């Protein structure tokens, strides 16, 4: 690690407020909380991929068991899970769009009986099956008929900068490329969990979630209640990564409908196999590039066509897609750009938020295409990148500005130095030339094939475009309690990322008190204002700043008698502009920047990849707590290495093949080495003590760096993630 | 008297009686049975109403001893950790156990369980094939000893009688000149299931190869091996080995070609048939073109 | 046959309630209220349900309760009250080893199991020792560093 700038006091590591209780096993996650009289619930699911229900021959239920269906949705309510649109149904009313779609909810006292009844109910449903669309190509051809609308396209966007048509027409040469990425499952170690009950007459949901107010909106919409009539209480959440952003709404609404018939408490905890099979995944992608080069070999036109597999219902696909589009030029500036983006409907489980939110797909494609361009043009990979790097004042692909100083050049130099990239890159290339082993199969030699790769990238903090000011409108309050302690009233929650600690540190730093004096333990939607969801790298960057500003109002007032509150509401920085109609302007208020380097050794007998080193540098504005930020960097890198090399989820027939944690493999402690890191301070004026987002950028660059390293090792072009040994062996055996 | 659901016999003799009388399902570490018959939270595993015969505590099944003739006899219910910690465990078996799972599973899993379940992907069982292990069975008719390859007949199928229990597994201990070759292509580096498990062992003394054992897991319905091919190589010096290998001009020579003809890999949720085929061929060639000739030429480091 | 199944749980003699085929995790969490044990997968893959049986780490989600008859079961509830247990808790707490925390109790139990046989493990031994405890947040490194910094505790390793 290195600290080019002297550390700000807020960056100094403290003990996380939640760590000791968690390490002693005393923290009560949802399944650990006693609910006297608790009943259990199981979702009755469609066991086909696509079709229509022809008959439901529901068996008679023993006393004490109820079957809840769409018919139980009260007047005034709606059979939909309200996310961005009134989107997927709470319960299917006949149409089945993906394997495992909910048909009903069974509630009762005994789990074994419930398991048996669920199977009986599922077997009793008769379907007329239809041909399924399972790939982006299937979707665009409307295989089996359109799933959504008339063309299976959830949204179709275009961003244009300059005159891409003219520039492409005048190009001396064009180069194309196509890149694909697969599903990724979140595998938060705590499965989706909730308990629904009635407290003081109100529908009350205890739930493992990133976004309590999303759950509230979804439940209120389904039941036709005013939002204030629904209470959501976030329980300590055992991992989210985007998987508990919207998906908890899907489960909470089913239990909420059950609460119209029975008071509860009703517990719904997904079995791991069920969780793997039916919950949302990262969007698979197909990205096509075409670059036009002028006579001098400079890139004049850049044309990108992105398609994301949105799965069976739209969820947040349009916003994920937008971020994918806005990442498709990575950290480079080209004069004439067109980016088309479509999210399409397939008969897979709905795709939704996952750390990175579209950016990892766009950045992988962009960085791999840049490598292809360098090879085709005959210039050094790094030199090509340096020629087009964004800098302060650059115009982004959406016509916005890079407002901050861009520290990529010094970050890059740092990573090149600590990784010894230049020497290794040359040595591996020489070794490949000398022994000619690259690309041949293992018979020639059992000696590992070495490679090293780099990626440059950025990630916009906060919601895309005008989302913060027009959709979220975050509001925070700090209460000065009678005992003199400040209490934070916000809707952002701890999902492992450390916000219980960082928020307290920000406020304590302003108030010049110990961070342990700050109270932040109320996660009940009827007690706290809506400061927005816990996602989009926005908690510290946006909400932390609001807390800093609110704390300033409290400064010097902690000794005043009694209890009072101060409030801060989000104001968009005035220098930012955005046109949501044309997707033009400043797509994000600020960016976090990164450089990743990965060194690998590929076994020529088994094509397994051994990661020998991971070097990273980040500019996140300023770290609020170094150890917490480091935890994000390492954790993000290892999760992304899983995405890059290990984690494969396939549904050739519609049902996912990998349905257990033995078959869907996430990294263990032995799969990858430690991660070297450096932080570059660059305080952001509208972030708390200069902080920007850090939770997602740490995922984004690993995939392309890994692929670039493998590419060098095997002497074949890599165009897909994950880079499994199977894929490598296919590449090596081609031609 | 109603059938008990859970039987804990005091002795092996009592266990055999219970096994016969109740068609009871032997269980020690439960690491296979409780995964295959997985129970939802708060429910009993679906065990097809056969009583469980718990044998994990029986001293007759949990000891490791030398037989005085160079073989190590490992009780069928000995947990993997104990096998790993025993100083006389052959290196090939040790390597397979080290890589077969995480500590928690090695603290519960047993050879008897893995053999009884006859999974074609079981790493430790694959090593047993390559070691030419012999399995001791006890039943009311008496005891018998069977080579591992004869005991397992198909995926999940064995010739263990309905009144028999697997009591022990015997493996030859390493001796001067013993070599082992172990490679696993797993779904990840640790705590992983095998896409391919590849085990080989034998002895090279004074330039002569004896006791060659080769076994490949997860590339067919049972672990792939060939007594015939092993016998063909028996007693070879380098010249004779080369001659044998030249009997076929395929890449990797005669032995590689013949083993490749025996495998029948499939595509499943863990890997593809093409990958399994290519990697098996690579490993066979590494063994037959590099490792064994190097050993026979006395150039091994 | 006896109708009562006895075992030692966190230093106390207990009788096993219910059917011996029940998963031990259910017995410990629901009958004895030992909620440091988490259920992450129910298939012996993630290690969140780790406990010690006769001093060795085992996944309690795939172990029939009857298998612990006459054996010693320890959970984090007792381990955390020991000197070494406290050092493990501190190692996890101070070095950034805890994020969402759901895997952490199981991780702590695996570390205890490791330290009983190997009081001064190197990095590889630590990584090997926790290789059955899946963590999706931390990437393991801070956990490994924390454990490597634990000072050896003399005492009963049985």
Q: What is the 3-state secondary structure (H, E, C) of A209-244?
A: CCCHHHHHHHHHHHHCCCHHHEEEEECCCCCCCCCC
**Residue from C93, C141, C144 nearest C121 by CA:** C144
Q: Which chain B positions have a beta carbon within 8 Å of C62's beta carbon? A: 30-31, 34-35, 108
Give the dihedral of Cα atoms C63, C64, C67, C68; nearest 10 deg: 80
Query: From CA A462, how far away is CA A468, in angstroms rounded?
Result: 7
Nearest CB partner across the interface for B43, out of A112, A669, A671:
A112
C-beta atoms of A668 and B190 within 8 A? yes
Looking at the fold, whether A179 and A39 belong to one and the same domain comes out as: no
Give the least confident one: A111-120, A370-379, A509-518, B115-124.
Answer: B115-124
Nearest Cα of chain A lies from the Cα of C130 at a distance, in angstroms, of 7
- Does B1 reside within a domain? no
Quote the pLDDT of residue A439. Answer: 46
Q: What is the pLDDT of residues C84-139, one digit of tens each?
A: 999 999 999 998 999 999 999 999 999 999 999 999 999 999 999 999 999 999 99
Residue A669 has pLDDT above 90, yes or no: yes
Nearest CB partner across the interface for C77, out of A25, A188, A239:
A25
Q: What is the pLDDT of residues A23-68, one digit of tens each?
A: 999 999 999 999 999 999 999 999 999 999 999 998 999 999 999 9
- We report the CATH number of the domain holding residue C43 as 3.10.20.30
Query: How many domains would you assign to chain B?
Result: 2
C23 touches chain B (CB under 8 A): yes
Query: From CA C129, how far away is CA C124, in angstroms rounded?
Result: 8
Query: From CA A389, how far away is CA A408, in angstroms rounded?
Result: 8
Kind of pairing, strands A51-56 and A125-129?
Answer: antiparallel
Domain limit, last residue, from C75, C109, C127: C75
Burial of residue B162 (CB within 10 Å: 0-12, 13-18, 19+) is exposed
Domain limit, last residue, from B172, B199, B224: B172
Nearest CA in chain B to C111: B103
- Count of Cβ atoms closer than 10 Å to residue C32 Cβ: 17
Nearest CA in chain A to C88: A23
C80 touches chain B (CB under 8 A): no
Query: From CA B128, how far away is CA A713, in angstroms rounded?
Result: 35
What is the number of alpha carbons within 13 Å of residue C154 lying toward its C-beta? 0
Question: Is-contact A352 A280, C-beta < 8 A?
Answer: yes
User: What is the distance in angstroms between the CA of the first residue and the CA of the last residue of chain C?
Assistant: 30
Quote the pLDDT of residue A83. Answer: 84
Nearest CA in chain C to A271: C41
Domain limit, last residue, from A251, A278, A305: A278
Nearest CB partner across the interface for B42, out of A111, A665, A729:
A111
B27 touches chain C (CB under 8 A): yes
Query: How many domains would you assign to chain A?
Result: 4
Looking at the fold, whether B195 and B288 belong to one and the same domain comes out as: yes
Query: From CA A387, how far away is CA A394, in angstroms rounded?
Result: 13
C-beta atoms of C137 and A635 within 8 A? yes
Question: Is-contact B272 A726, C-beta < 8 A?
Answer: yes
C43 touches chain A (CB under 8 A): yes
Residue A593 has pLDDT above 50, yes or no: yes
- Does B45 reside within a domain? yes
Question: Is-contact B144 B111, C-beta < 8 A?
Answer: no
Looking at the fold, whether C55 and C43 belong to one and the same domain comes out as: yes
Looking at the fold, whether A97 and A146 belong to one and the same domain comes out as: no
Q: Which chain A positions have a beta carbon within 8 Å of B283's beta carbon? A: 442, 605-606
- Give the residue ranges of chain B where pLDDT is below 70: 1, 299-301
Q: What does the DSSP assignment read for B64-118?
A: EEE-SSSEEEEETT-BHHHHHH-TTS-HHHHHHHHHHS-HHHHTT-BHHHHHHHT
Looking at the fold, whether A89 and A168 belong to one and the same domain comes out as: no
Question: Is-contact B170 B74, C-beta < 8 A?
Answer: yes
Domain limit, last residue, from C75, C106, C126: C75
Burial of residue C30 (CB within 10 Å: 0-12, 13-18, 19+) is middle
Nearest CA in chain C to B109: C58
Question: Is-contact A44 A56, C-beta < 8 A?
Answer: no
- Does B42 reside within a domain? yes
Question: Is-contact A286 A320, C-beta < 8 A?
Answer: no
Given a contact as 3+ CB pairs under 8 Å, which chains touch C? A, B
CB pairs < 8 Å spanning A and B: 92
Domain limit, last residue, from A360, A375, A408: A360
Question: Is-contact C9 C32, C-beta < 8 A?
Answer: yes
Residue A442 has pLDDT above 90, yes or no: no
Quote the pLDDT of residue A735. Answer: 63
Nearest CB partner across the interface for A443, out of B102, B271, B289:
B289
Question: Is-contact A420 A414, C-beta < 8 A?
Answer: no
The sign one gets for the Cα dihedral B118, B120, B122, B125 is positive
**What b-and-e string marks burial along A118-127, b requiring 16 or more CB atoms within 10 Å of the CB?**
beebbeebeb
Calculate mean pLDDT across residues A528-554: 96
Which of C22, C39, C101 has the highest number of chain A CBs within 10 A, making it the mutation to test binding with A? C101
Both structure tokens of A373: 């361009």
Residue A376: alpha-carbon gap to chain centroid:
33
Q: What does the DSSP assignment read for A265-278?
A: -EEEE--HHHHHHH
Q: Where are the beta strands (DSSP E) in A57-191?
A: 66-68, 95-96, 102-108, 125-129, 153-161, 173-181
Query: From CA B238, how far away is CA B224, in angstroms rounded?
Result: 25
Q: Which chain A positions have a beta carbon within 8 Å of C128's beta carbon? A: 669-670
Query: How many domains would you assign to chain C?
Result: 2
Looking at the fold, whether C25 and C68 belong to one and the same domain comes out as: yes
Nearest CB partner across the interface for C132, out of B30, B42, B102:
B102
Residue owning tokens 């009635």: A198
Residue C1 has pLDDT above 50, yes or no: no
Element (DSSP H or E) covering residue C142: helix C141-148
Kind of pairing, strands C50-53 and C56-59?
Answer: antiparallel
C-beta atoms of C140 and A631 within 8 A? no
C-alpha gyration radius of chain A = 26
Calculate mean pLDDT across residues A79-108: 94
Looking at the fold, whether A244 and A334 belong to one and the same domain comes out as: no
DSSP-derived letter for residue B278 is H
What is the number of alpha carbons within 13 Å of residue B143 lying toward its C-beta? 9
pLDDT bracket for residue C152 (50, 70, 90): confident
C130 touches chain A (CB under 8 A): yes
- We report the CATH number of the domain holding residue B211 as 3.30.390.50
Both structure tokens of C102: 């759901």
Quote the pLDDT of residue A9. Answer: 93
**Residue from A277, A352, A362 nearest A319 by CA:** A352
C24 touches chain A (CB under 8 A): no
Looking at the fold, whether B131 and B253 belong to one and the same domain comes out as: no
Quote the pLDDT of residue A438. Answer: 44
Nearest CA in chain C to B43: C22
Q: For a pLDDT cut of 70, what percent of chain A falls above it?
A: 98
Looking at the fold, whether B147 and B210 belong to one and the same domain comes out as: no
C-beta atoms of C108 and A32 within 8 A? no
Quote the pLDDT of residue C154. Answer: 62
C-beta atoms of A15 and C93 within 8 A? yes
A733 touches chain B (CB under 8 A): yes
Question: Is-contact A191 A270, C-beta < 8 A?
Answer: yes
Query: From CA B12, how far away is CA B15, in angstroms rounded?
Result: 5
Looking at the fold, whether B156 and B199 belong to one and the same domain comes out as: no
Domain limit, last residue, from C49, C75, C101: C75
Looking at the fold, whether C143 and C129 belong to one and the same domain comes out as: yes
C-beta atoms of C136 and A674 within 8 A? no
Looking at the fold, whether A166 and A252 belong to one and the same domain comes out as: no
Question: Is-contact A713 A452, C-beta < 8 A?
Answer: no
pLDDT bracket for residue A445 (50, 70, 90): confident
Domain limit, last residue, from A571, A594, A610: A571
Nearest CA in chain C to A496: C100
Q: What is the pLDDT of residues A311-337, one digit of tens each?
A: 999 999 999 999 999 999 999 999 999
Quote the pLDDT of residue A507. Answer: 98
Nearest CA in chain B to C51: B104
Residue B88 has φ and ψ, to the nearest 5°, of -100, 5
Question: Is-contact A354 A366, C-beta < 8 A?
Answer: no
Nearest CA in chain B to C26: B42
Quote the pLDDT of residue B120. Answer: 83
Question: Is-contact C126 C114, C-beta < 8 A?
Answer: yes
C-alpha gyration radius of chain C = 15
Residue A588: alpha-carbon gap to chain centroid:
16
Looking at the fold, whether C83 and C124 belong to one and the same domain comes out as: yes
Q: B110 is in which domain, residue-wise?
A: 6-172
C-beta atoms of A271 and B44 within 8 A? no
C-beta atoms of A16 and C98 within 8 A? yes
Both structure tokens of A498: 């450390």
Q: What is the pLDDT of residues A197-231, one digit of tens each?
A: 999 999 999 999 999 999 999 999 999 999 999 99
Nearest Cα of chain C lies from the Cα of B39 at a distance, in angstroms, of 8
CB pairs < 8 Å spanning B and C: 100
Q: C17 is in which domain, residue-wise?
A: 6-75
Given a contact as 3+ CB pairs under 8 Å, which chains touch B? A, C
User: Cα A702–A703–A704 angle (5° rounding)?
Assistant: 95
- In this prediction the ipTM stands at 0.97
Residue A31 has φ and ψ, to the nearest 5°, of -65, -15
Q: Which residues 436-465 on chain A approach chain B with CB closer than 8 angstroms? A: 441-443, 446
Nearest CB partner across the interface for B190, out of C63, C113, C131:
C131
Residue owning tokens 């200069």: A690
Query: From CA A524, how far away is CA A490, in angstroms rounded?
Result: 9
B46 touches chain C (CB under 8 A): no
- Count of Cβ atoms closer than 10 Å to residue A94 Cβ: 14
Quote the pLDDT of residue B301. Answer: 47
Which of B36, B122, B188 has the highest number of chain A CBs within 10 A, making it the mutation to test binding with A? B188
Q: A721 is in which domain, residue-wise?
A: 389-464+584-733
Nearest Cα of chain B lies from the Cα of C129 at a distance, in angstroms, of 7
Residue owning tokens 């899907």: A250
Question: Is-contact A207 A252, C-beta < 8 A?
Answer: yes
Query: From CA A668, how far away is CA A647, in angstroms rounded?
Result: 12
Q: Which chain B positions have a beta carbon within 8 Å of A607's beta carbon? A: 275, 279
Looking at the fold, whether B109 and B210 belong to one and the same domain comes out as: no
- Does C123 reside within a domain? yes
């Amino acid at each position: 690690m290195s600290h080019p700038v002297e550390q700000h006091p807020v960056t100094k590591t403290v003990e996380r407020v939640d760590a000791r209780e968690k390490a002693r096993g005393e923290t009560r996650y949802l399944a650990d909380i006693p609910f006297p009289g608790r009943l259990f619930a199981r979702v009755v699911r469609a066991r086909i991929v696509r079709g229509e229900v022809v008959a439901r021959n529901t068996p008679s239920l023993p006393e004490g068991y109820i079957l809840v269906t769409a018919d139980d949705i009260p007047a005034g309510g709606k059979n939909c899970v309200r996310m961005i649109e009134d989107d997927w149904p709470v319960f299917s009313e006949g149409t089945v769009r993906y394997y495992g779609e909910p048909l009903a909810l069974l509630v009762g006292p005994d789990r074994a009986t419930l398991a048996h009844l669920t199977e009986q109910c599922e077997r009793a449903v008769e379907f007329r099956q239809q041909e399924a669309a399972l790939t982006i190509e299937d979707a665009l051809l409307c295989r089996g008929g359109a799933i959504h609308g008339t063309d299976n396209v959830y949204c179709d966007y275009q961003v244009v900068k300059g005159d891409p048509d003219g520039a492409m027409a005048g190009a001396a040469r064009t180069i194309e490329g196509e890149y694909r990425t697969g599903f990724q499952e979140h595998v938060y170690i705590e499965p989706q969990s909730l308990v629904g009950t009635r407290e003081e007459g109100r529908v009350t949901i205890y739930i493992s979630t990133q976004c309590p107010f999303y759950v509230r909106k979804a439940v209120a919409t389904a039941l036709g209640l005013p939002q204030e009539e629904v209470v959501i209480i976030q329980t300590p959440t055992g991992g989210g990564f985007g998987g508990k952003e919207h998906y908890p709404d899907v489960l909470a609404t089913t239990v909420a409908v059950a609460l119209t018939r029975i008071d509860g408490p009703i517990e719904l905890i997904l079995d791991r196999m069920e969780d793997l099979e039916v919950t949302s995944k990262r969007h698979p992608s197909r990205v096509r590039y075409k670059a036009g080069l002028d006579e001098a070999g400079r890139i004049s036109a850049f044309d990108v066509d992105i398609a994301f597999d949105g799965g069976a219902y739209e969820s947040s696909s349009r916003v994920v897609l937008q971020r994918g589009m806005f990442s498709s030029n990575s950290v480079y500036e080209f004069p004439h750009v067109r980016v088309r983006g479509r999210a399409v409907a397939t008969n897979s489980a709905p795709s939704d938020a996952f750390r990175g939110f579209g950016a990892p797909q766009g950045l992988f494609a962009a960085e791999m295409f840049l490598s292809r361009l360098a090879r085709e043009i005959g210039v050094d990979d790094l030199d090509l990148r340096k020629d087009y790097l964004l800098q302060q004042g650059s115009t982004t692909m959406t016509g916005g500005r890079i407002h901050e100083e861009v520290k990529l050049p010094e970050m890059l130099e740092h990573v090149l130095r600590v990784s010894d990239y230049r020497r290794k890159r040359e040595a591996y290339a020489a070794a490949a030339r000398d022994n000619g082993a690259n690309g041949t199969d293992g018979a020639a030699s059992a000696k590992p094939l070495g490679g090293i790769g780099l990626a440059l990238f950025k990630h916009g903090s906060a919601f895309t475009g005008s989302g913060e000011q027009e959709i979220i409108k975050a509001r925070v309050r700090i209460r000065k309690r009678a005992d003199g302690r400040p209490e934070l009233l916000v809707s952002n929650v701890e999902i492992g990322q450390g916000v219980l600690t960082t928020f307290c540190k920000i406020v304590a730093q302003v108030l010049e008190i110990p961070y342990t004096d700050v109270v932040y333990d109320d996660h009940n939607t009827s007690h706290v204002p809506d400061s927005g969801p816990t996602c989009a790298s926005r908690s510290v960057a946006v909400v932390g700043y609001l807390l800093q500003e609110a704390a300033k109002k409290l400064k010097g007032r902690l000794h005043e008698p009694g209890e009072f509150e101060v409030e801060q509401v989000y104001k968009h920085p005035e220098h930012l502009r955005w046109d949501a109609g044309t997707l033009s302007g400043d797509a994000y208020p600020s960016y976090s920047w990164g450089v990743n380097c990965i060194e690998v050794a590929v076994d020529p007998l088994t094509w397994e990849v051994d990661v020998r080193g991971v070097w990273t540098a980040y500019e996140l504005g300023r770290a609020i707590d170094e150890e917490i930020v480091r935890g994000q960097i390492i954790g993000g890198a290892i999760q992304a290495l899983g995405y890059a090399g290990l984690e494969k989820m396939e549904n050739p027939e519609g049902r996912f093949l990998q349905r257990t944690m033995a078959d869907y493999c996430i990294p263990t402690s032995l799969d990858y080495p430690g991660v070297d890191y450096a932080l570059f301070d660059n305080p952001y004026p509208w972030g708390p003590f200069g902080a920007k987002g850090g939770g997602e950028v740490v995922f984004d660059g690993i995939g392309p760096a890994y692929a670039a390293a493998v590419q060098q090792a095997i002497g074949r072009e890599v165009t897909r993630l994950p880079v499994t040994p199977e894929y490598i062996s296919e590449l090596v055996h081609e031609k | 008297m109603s059938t008990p659901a859970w039987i804990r016999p005091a002795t092996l003799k009592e266990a055999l009686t219970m096994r016969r009388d109740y068609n009871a399902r032997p269980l020690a570490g439960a690491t296979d049975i409780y995964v295959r018959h997985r129970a939802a939270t708060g429910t009993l595993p679906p065990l097809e109403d056969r009583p469980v015969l718990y044998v994990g505590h029986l001293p007759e099944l949990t000891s490791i001893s030398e037989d005085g003739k160079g073989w190590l006899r490992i009780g069928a219910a000995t947990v993997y950790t104990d096998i790993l910690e025993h100083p006389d465990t052959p290196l090939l078996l040790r390597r397979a156990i080290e890589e077969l799972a995480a500590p928690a599973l090695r603290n519960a899993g047993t050879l008897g369980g893995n053999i009884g379940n006859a999974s074609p992907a079981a790493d430790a069982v694959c090593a047993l094939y390559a070691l030419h292990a012999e399995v001791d069975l006890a039943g009311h008719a008496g005891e018998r000893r069977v080579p591992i390859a004869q005991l397992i007949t198909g995926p999940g199928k064995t010739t263990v009688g309905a009144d028999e229990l697997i009591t022990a597994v015997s493996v030859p201990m390493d001796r001067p000149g013993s070599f082992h070759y172990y490679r696993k292509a797993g779904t990840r580096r640790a705590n992983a299931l095998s896409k391919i498990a590849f085990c080989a062992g034998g002895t090279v003394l004074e330039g002569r190869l004896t006791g060659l054992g080769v076994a490949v897991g997860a590339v067919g319905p049972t672990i792939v091996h060939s007594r015939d091919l092993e016998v063909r190589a028996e007693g070879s010096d380098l010249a004779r080995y080369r001659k044998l290998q030249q009997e076929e001009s395929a890449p990797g020579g005669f032995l590689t070609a013949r083993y490749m003809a025996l495998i029948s890999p499939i595509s499943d949720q863990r890997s593809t048939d093409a990958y399994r085929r290519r990697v098996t061929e690579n490993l066979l060639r590494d063994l037959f073109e590099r490792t064994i000739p190097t050993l026979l030429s006395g150039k091994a480091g | 046959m006896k109708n009562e199944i006895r075992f030692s749980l966190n230093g106390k003699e207990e009788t096993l309630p219910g059917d011996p085929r029940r998963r031990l995790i259910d017995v410990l969490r629901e009958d004895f209220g030992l909620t440091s044990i988490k259920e992450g997968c129910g298939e012996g893959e993630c290690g969140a349900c780790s406990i010690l049986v006769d001093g060795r780490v085992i996944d309690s989600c795939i172990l029939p309760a009857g298998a612990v008859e006459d054996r010693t079961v320890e959970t984090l509830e007792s381990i955390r009250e020991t000197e070494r247990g406290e050092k493990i808790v501190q190692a996890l707490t101070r070095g950034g080893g805890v994020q969402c925390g759901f895997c952490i109790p199981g991780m702590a139990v695996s570390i205890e199991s490791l330290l009983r046989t190997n009081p001064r493990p190197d990095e590889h031994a630590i990584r090997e020792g926790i290789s059955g405890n899946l963590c999706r947040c931390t990437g393991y490194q801070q956990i490994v560093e924390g454990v490597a910094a634990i000072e050896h505790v003399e005492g009963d390793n049985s």
